[in-house]
Amino acid sequence: MSGRKDNHDHDHRGRTEPTLGRLDDLDRPAAPVDDGLPRIVVDEPRRRTGGPTPPPPRRERKRGWLIPMLVLVLIGGVTGLWLQQDRLRNLMPATELNDLLGQANQALAAGKLDGTAGDSARELFEKARDQQPDSDQARDGLRRVGMAEVARADAALSAGNLDEAEAALNVARELLGGGSDVERLTQQLSQARNPQGHTESLIDRAQAAFAAGKFDGDDGAGALYRRVLDADRNNTVAARGLDRVGDALAAQARQAISDNDRPRANALVDRIAILVPGYSDLPSLRASLAETRKQDDQAIATLIQQGNDAMRAGRFTGDGDDTALARFNAALAADPDNAGAKAGLGQVAQALIVQANAALDSNDDAQAAKLLDQATKLAPKSAELAAARARLGGGDGHAAAGVPPAAGAQAGDDNAPEASLAVSPEQKAKVADLVRRAQAAASRGDIMDPPGDSAYDLYRNALAIDGNDPTARAGLQGLPAQVEKQMQQAVAAGNVKRAEDLYGTLSDLAPGDASQGEMRHRLGSALIDNALQRASSGDRQGAFQSLDHARRYVPDDPRLQSAYERIATGR
């Protein structure tokens, strides 16, 4: 109430009517009105007498700091997701892996155990294992395929189908690493192939082969005596015959050592270890080989050192025998499997590619083409070479199959690199699709195969359309790192065959890469482990094969000779 008197009220009691009053006065303190009622005082916080009047309440300021804070939080969240992308990816359902496992189980149920078309149970389970090495389902699937092959071998043996039984046993031995069932069936198969009446015939043939000087080979004395002993371990005639075969092969091995023919000497000594594992002179033969290898390795090491010196001096290629190329080739002539010499040639190729890229930067296409042609002879599948070819125009010098040339470019046009810049929207879309397919192929492990659908070919096809596409070029140049990662996974999973294939791919893609030395050592060590494992399961032949492969990568590993002796003597 405002206390204002109504002008139309003449009541002497001063009656007032309620009115709304001025809204602007609501914020002002009301003046005290004497209404005749007792005063009621409400306790409030005391103010200091004579103090300043408190200011009116301020309006709340806008929180301008919220937006920057939200941006920082968002950046932090995105960064966290990026750093944890591998972990998050692992948490997502592996649809492709599950599809592979489903197809593999269907093939196993249908009895399609092994093959080469990519649709057998073994191939599908191995592909799943390569994608995820720690997959228990893939490993268990391969074990079940191995057991199914054992059952197939047993049935084939009972039906008299000896070739089918042998093929099934070979697959089972590879998947299971041997075992009592595999060895039992192997002995039964040997007895079936060599019945008692047939044993005498085999011995006669072995003696005739020995007299003719035919010691090795499928029809040689060693193999024939070995077949008799596999069926009858107590046959003394075959045992003595094998000792004589060992003497003859040892004489040939010593002659090969004298002739400095290391490959033949190695092959003969390894053959003795397989045919006559207990041959008494085998350790001395290996010692002679080791001494010869040591002398040869010193000469080869000198050649490689001279090649490296020539590299540092910039003498990559040219006339004369003092260039890096000449020195590394001389080392390879002495030892065709020498890893250091092969890496040296890769370094020469890489140096030529670097020079070619510099020539391209200077618009000297003729010189770049000449240098790349030289590099192609040394490292034809190098990823860096393919990327440089794309800069020059046309991928590897020819239009990719099914890929149209860049807009405005004609076949053999000297201006192809410039024309490749003017790609049409349709071509850009084609490049994007090829890159996407290449990335998917690389993640599956299809690096160099199958032809046309491999990551290598798909990236090159993309660069044939647009040689300057940064994603395609980076993807191609990044393939060696992906192969190395997949190889490490294969070694950790014990899949030495896959690891060996990947090492060959890595050597092709990045010849001369210094990191390959460590990968080569890891692969050789894994092959030695595989050999010992196969030997412990009774698969001596497979064990020696693994050791033969190991020698290619770690010929000087002290475990190698020890493994040969352990497997040969049965310890």
Confidence band (pLDDT; 50, 70, 90) for 488?
A: confident
313, HSE (Cβ side, Cα atoms, 13 Å):
12
Nearest-Å Rg of the Cα atoms of the chain is 41
Residue that has been written with the tokens 């990568």 in this structure: 553
Length in residues, the chain: 571
Residue 548, Cβ density class (10 Å: 0-12 exposed, 13-18 middle, ≥19 buried): middle
Backbone angles phi, psi at 395, to 5 degrees: 65, -110
Q: Give the model's pLDDT for residue 438.
A: 92
Cα separation, 476 vs 486, whole angstroms: 16
* 423 has a pLDDT exceeding 90: no
Reduced to 3 states, what is the DSSP secondary structure of residue 16?
strand
Question: Tokens representing 318?
Answer: 């040219």
534, HSE (Cβ side, Cα atoms, 13 Å):
25
Reduced to 3 states, what is the DSSP secondary structure of residue 340?
helix
Q: Give the model's pLDDT for residue 374.
A: 87
Confidence band (pLDDT; 50, 70, 90) for 396?
A: very low
Which residues on neighbouring strands pair with residue 507, listed in sequence order? none
Cα separation, 500 vs 517, whole angstroms: 14
Confidence band (pLDDT; 50, 70, 90) for 7?
A: very low
Cα separation, 511 vs 378, whole angstroms: 9
* 69 has a pLDDT exceeding 70: no
pLDDT tens-digit series, residues 345-387: 888 988 898 888 898 888 888 888 899 888 888 888 888 888 8
Q: Give the model's pLDDT for residue 433.
A: 93
Q: Give the model's pLDDT for residue 47.
A: 47
Distance of CA 470 to the CA centre of its chain: 23
Question: Tokens representing 549?
Answer: 């492969």
Question: Tokens representing 423?
Answer: 């790609």
pLDDT tens-digit series, residues 499-557: 888 888 888 888 877 677 888 888 989 999 888 888 777 777 788 888 888 888 887 78
Q: Give the model's pLDDT for residue 130.
A: 75
Q: How many helices (H) and strands (E) does the chain have?
A: 25, 0
Which residues, at least 6 apart from 489, have a Cβ–Cβ distance to it below 8 Å?
Answer: 130, 133
E-assigned strand segments in 416-543: none
Q: Give the model's pLDDT for residue 195.
A: 61
Q: Give the model's pLDDT for residue 434.
A: 93
Question: Tokens representing 568?
Answer: 């040969």
Summarize the chain as % helix, strand, coil (round to 5). Answer: 65, 0, 35
Q: Give the model's pLDDT for residue 99.
A: 81
Q: What is the mean pLDDT of residues 173-200?
A: 74
pLDDT tens-digit series, residues 115-168: 766 788 888 888 888 777 778 888 889 889 989 989 998 888 888 787 788 888
Domains of the chain from N-terminus onward: 99-193 (1.25.40), 196-280 (1.25.40)
Number of other CB atoms surrounding residue 343 within 10 Å: 21
Question: Are 120 and 486 in contact, with CB atoms under 8 Å apart?
Answer: no
The angle subtended at Cα 332 by Cα 331 and Cα 336, nearest 5°, is 140
